[in-house]
């Protein structure tokens, strides 16, 4: 808890058995709620999560990274979280920064905090492939122009959110795939939420999840489409549920909880 606000860490997981324990061990003491959503993994991610004492939910099918996040945020809000930090359980980002990111939300200064791999120049040192680094910089520059903000990176998977933001954004209008992350930022800008950044080192290694070149291209196209949709909606050319407060925020449950042993 920070400033009287309850902190939840949520982990969208898929085949994260090899790195989950290392990630959980580095979570700071300030975390009140720990949730993992297993997107129908092929390994023992869910069993290990239960063993580590996490609230564990299992999708009955592999719905995708975006849908996994929807479940994460729904369960964190239901558990009473005031601040929600998404941490990938693949140990690519440092969980040690959770408290710092939560503090930036808890202070009332920001509604969303992004852990940037670009600030501090650690992306390439951490092993980010050169083509991904170049694409990251080009897409970020493009979106800064058309969204009217100035961020160092839009593509990090390490983020913190206020309860108000998660309750306001029409998250169920977003993609079930990786572009969900980018759509959340565009929505936050559209709804005038305050976005801050913190420098974060990154690690690229065999067990860390990373989308391949083909999926990276698909993601890049999705980013361009998200930006075009933002501009079209903001200019009044189109009215899109993705950027409307009336957009869907709740859905039926399509997953189960692994009961904790007494």
Residues written for the chain: 262
Q: Is the pLDDT higher at 260 or at 26? A: 26
pLDDT over 60 (residue 251): no
Percentage of the chain with pLDDT > 70?
Answer: 93
pLDDT, tens digit, 9 for 90 and up, residues 78-90: 999 999 999 999 9
| Assigned token pair, 86 | 């998404």
Which tens digits make up the pLDDT trace of 178-196?
A: 999 999 999 999 999 999 9
Could you report the per-residue pLDDT of 102-121, keeping only the tens digit for each? 999 999 999 999 999 988 77
Task: Note the pLDDT of residue 50.
Answer: 96
Sheet arrangement for strand 159-162: 195-199, 112-116, 159-162, 83-86, 7-13, 33-38, 55-59, 255-258
Mean pLDDT of 220-233: 96
Residue 154: domain span: 7-244
Does residue 49 fall inside a structural domain? Answer: yes
Q: Average pLDDT, whole number, for the chain?
A: 91
What is the mean predicted confidence (pLDDT) over 130-155? 93
Residue 68 scores a pLDDT above 70: yes
When pLDDT is cut at 50, 70 and 90, the band that residue 216 belongs to is confident
User: Counting beta carbons within 10 angstroms of the beta carbon of residue 179, is it exposed (0 to 12), middle (13 to 18) or buried (19 or more)?
Assistant: buried
Inside any domain, residue 1? no
Is 255 within a domain? no
Q: DSSP for the chain, please give it.
A: -BTTB-EEEEEEESS-HHHHHHHHHTS-TT--EEEEEE-S-SSSHHHHHHHTT-EEEEESS---HHHHHHHHHHHHHHTT-SEEEE--TTSSB-GGGHHHHHHHHHTTS-SEEEEESTTTT-TTTTT--HHHHHHHHHHHHHHHHHHT---S-S--S-EEEEHHHHHHS-GGGS-SSTTHHHHHHHHHHHTT--EEEEE--B---TTS----HHHHHHHHHHHHHHHHHHHHHHTTS---GGG-TTS-------EEEEPPP-
Residue 253 lies in a domain: no
Mean pLDDT within 132-147: 94
CATH code, domain carrying 127: 3.90.550.10
221 within a domain of the structure (yes/no): yes
pLDDT at 260: 55
* The dihedral sign for the CA sequence 242, 248, 254, 259: positive
What's the pLDDT band for 206 if we cut at 50, 70, 90?
low
* Residue 228 lies inside a defined structural domain of this protein: yes
- pLDDT greater at residue 213 or residue 223: 223
Strand partners, 258: 56
pLDDT of residue 160: 98
Q: Into how many domains does the chain fold?
A: 1
Domain contains 132: yes
Question: Residue 236 is encoded by which pair of tokens?
Answer: 């009044």
Q: Is the pLDDT of residue 262 over 60?
A: no
- Which pLDDT tens digit goes with each residue over 9-64? 999 999 999 999 999 999 999 999 999 999 999 999 999 999 999 999 999 999 99
Task: Return the minimum-mean-pLDDT range out of 38-42, 135-139, 201-205, 246-250.
Answer: 201-205
Nearest to 195 by CA among 162, 169, 224, 236: 162
In a domain, 251, yes or no: no
């Amino acid at each position: 808890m920070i400033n009287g606000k309850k902190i939840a860490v949520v982990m969208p997981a898929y085949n994260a058995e090899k790195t989950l324990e290392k990630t959980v061990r580095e979570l700071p003491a300030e975390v009140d709620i720990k949730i993992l959503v297993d997107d129908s993994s092929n390994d023992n991610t869910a069993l290990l999560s239960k063993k580590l004492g996490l609230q564990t939910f299992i999708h009955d099918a592999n719905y995708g990274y975006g849908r996994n996040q929807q479940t994460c945020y729904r369960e964190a809000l239901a558990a009473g979280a005031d601040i929600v930090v998404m941490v990938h359980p693949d140990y690519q980002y440092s969980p040690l920064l959770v408290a710092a990111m939560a503090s930036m939300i808890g202070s009332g200064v920001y509604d969303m905090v992004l852990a940037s791999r670009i600030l501090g120049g650690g992306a390439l040192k951490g092993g980010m492939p050169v083509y991904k680094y170049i694409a990251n910089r080009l897409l970020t520059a493009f979106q800064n122009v058309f969204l009217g903000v100035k961020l160092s990176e839009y593509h990090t998977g390490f983020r913190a959110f206020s309860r108000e933001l998660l309750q306001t954004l029409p998250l169920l209008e977003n993609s079930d795939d990786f572009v969900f992350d980018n759509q959340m930022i565009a929505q936050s800008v559209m709804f005038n939420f305050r976005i801050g950044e913190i420098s974060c080192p990154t690690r690229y290694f065999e067990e860390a999840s990373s989308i391949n070149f083909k999926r990276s291209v698909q993601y890049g196209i999705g980013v361009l489409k998200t930006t075009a949709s933002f501009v079209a909606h903001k200019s009044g050319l189109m009215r899109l549920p993705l950027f409307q407060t009336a957009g869907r925020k709740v859905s039926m449950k399509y997953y189960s909880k692994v009961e904790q042993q007494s």
